[in-house]
């Protein structure tokens, strides 16, 4: 559930004029605004900036982030697109055409069965739906603000398909998938996933001195007294000193917001993925720009003349060697070779489904059925 608290007796008008905070529509306390000091020129806190593509580069403890933003058309009776797929390289369609990609899907867009070992995937499904199935026998459909946090550990095979559930309207999909590394001590833990339904993910709303709004969604980490849901027990994010934060920020046109400093030694990346202009300290970022910033200082943000949306990844580095071969992330080349041999021998439990790209029924709604048979739905 969201971490919410009531403000200490403030009237709504007083709270808003002081730059109040809300979480899930509940007002949080704040202090009265002090008299405005003389402002110093903004400091350049950006260390490096680069244009964003489909995949975003990242820093330890993260591996990378994929950003899917597709305008899928109406769906057919197989939950695929009502569209001519001629001319696409089906099975490996990563070229944006008519507003969408099919990725590795042939009939339904998405990613049919594939293995993982040694890291975690944190999938933020902002719009549209994702159908999950895995080698342990678990299934799920999530979307519309839900988050799936999957720990691959010693090995799991899963599929991630994007069902087009509406036959009368377009089916837009917007999703981040963040790859978060595991330390050596946890790389061979038991695989699992858990759901953070949209209704339980805290959203903190602040108003600047001019009443312009910023909304911060907390998938991991904390902002003030508001904490994100608890991460899986073997995650690097579960360690008290990891300083892992996964936030999305939505700034109204002209809004100002300052990200508090991170812990000493942490890394912080900002990904300005929607909007026309964003000031980060003394630097102005253009559309679709990623920036590494000085994590131990405040990060002042000012939106341009349109809404600005930002993904923030922050954390203390694991600081271990990374050996990666596709979906396997280990510490040494020997461990990588063993991962390949283990997958060839065991298929990480096999594939219990009749299709390599299973999807659920059009009317199934959001759910998660875990390995133990427990059925989980949003509340």
Q: What are phi and psi of 12, to 5 degrees?
A: -60, -40
Contacts of 171 (CB under 8 A, 6+ apart): 72, 73, 74, 75, 81, 128, 164, 165
Question: HSE (CB half, 13 Å, CA atoms) of 178?
Answer: 29
Tokens for 28, please give them: 């949080």
What's the pLDDT band for 42 if we cut at 50, 70, 90? confident
The pLDDT, as a whole number, for residue 37 is 59
Give me the helices (H) in 128-212, please: none
How many angstroms from the chain centroid is the CA of residue 131?
Answer: 16
Q: Cβ neighbours of residue 133 under 8 Å, at least 6 residues apart?
A: 113, 139, 158, 159, 353, 358
Residue 207 pLDDT exceeds 50: yes
* Cross-strand pairs, 124: 147, 176
The distance from CA 320 to its chain's CA centroid, rounded to whole angstroms, is 23
pLDDT score at 50: 97
pTM for the full predicted model: 0.90
CA distances from 285 to 57, 168, 193, 328 (A): 17, 38, 36, 34
In tens, the pLDDT along 92-141 reads 999 999 999 999 999 999 999 999 999 999 999 999 999 999 999 999 99
Whole-Å CA distances, 174 to 70, 80, 124, 183, 306: 6, 17, 8, 29, 19
> Domains (ranges, CATH) in the chain?
43-49+202-315 (2.60.120.10), 62-198 (2.60.120.10)
- Residue 136 or residue 11, greater confidence: 136
Query: Per-residue pLDDT for 87 more than 60?
Result: yes
Residue 36: what pLDDT? Answer: 52
Q: What is the pLDDT of residue 21?
A: 40
Question: β-pairing, 21-23 with 26-28?
Answer: antiparallel
The answer to whether 108 and 70 have CB atoms below 8 angstroms apart is no
pLDDT higher at 336 or 33: 336
Quote the mean pLDDT of the chain.
Answer: 91
């Amino acid at each position: 559930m969201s971490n919410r608290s009531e403000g200490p007796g403030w009237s709504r008008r007083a709270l808003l004029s002081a730059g109040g905070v809300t979480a899930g529509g509940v007002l949080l306390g704040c202090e009265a605004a002090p008299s405005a000091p003389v402002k110093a020129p903004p400091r350049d806190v950006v260390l490096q900036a680069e244009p964003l593509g489909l995949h975003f580069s990242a820093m330890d403890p993260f591996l990378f982030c994929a950003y899917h933003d597709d305008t899928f058309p109406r769906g057919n009776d197989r939950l695929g697109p009502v569209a001519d797929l001629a001319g696409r390289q089906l099975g490996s369609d990563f070229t944006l055409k008519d507003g969408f990609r099919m990725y590795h899907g042939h009939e339904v867009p998405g990613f049919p069965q594939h293995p993982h070992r040694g890291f975690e995937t944190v999938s933020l499904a902002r719009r549209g739906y994702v159908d999950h199935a895995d080698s342990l026998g678990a299934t799920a459909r999530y979307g519309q603000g839900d988050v799936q946090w999957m720990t691959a550990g010693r090995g799991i095979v899963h599929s991630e398909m994007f069902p087009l559930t509406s036959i009368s309207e377009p089916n837009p999909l917007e999703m981040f998938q963040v790859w978060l590394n595991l330390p050596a001590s946890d790389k061979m833990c038991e695989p699992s996933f858990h759901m953070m339904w949209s209704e339980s993910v805290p959203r903190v709303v602040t108003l600047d001195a001019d009443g312009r709004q910023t909304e911060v969604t907390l998938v991991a980490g904390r902002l003030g007294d508001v904490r994100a849901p608890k991460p899986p027990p073997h995650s690097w994010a579960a360690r008290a000193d990891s300083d892992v934060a996964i936030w999305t920020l939505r700034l109204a046109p002209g809004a100002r917001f300052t990200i508090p400093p991170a812990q000493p030694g942490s890394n912080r990346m900002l990904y300005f993925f929607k909007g026309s202009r964003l000031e980060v300290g003394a630097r102005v970022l253009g559309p679709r720009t990623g920036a590494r910033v000085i994590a131990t200082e405040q990060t002042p943000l000012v939106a341009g003349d349109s809404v600005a949306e930002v993904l923030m990844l922050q954390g203390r580095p694991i600081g271990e060697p990374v050996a990666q071969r596709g979906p396997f992330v280990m510490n040494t080349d020997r461990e990588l070779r063993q991962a390949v041999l283990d997958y060839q021998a065991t298929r990480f439990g096999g594939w219990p489904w009749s299709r390599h790209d299973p999807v659920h029924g059009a009317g199934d709604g959001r759910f998660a059925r875990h390995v133990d048979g427990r059925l989980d739905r949003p509340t």
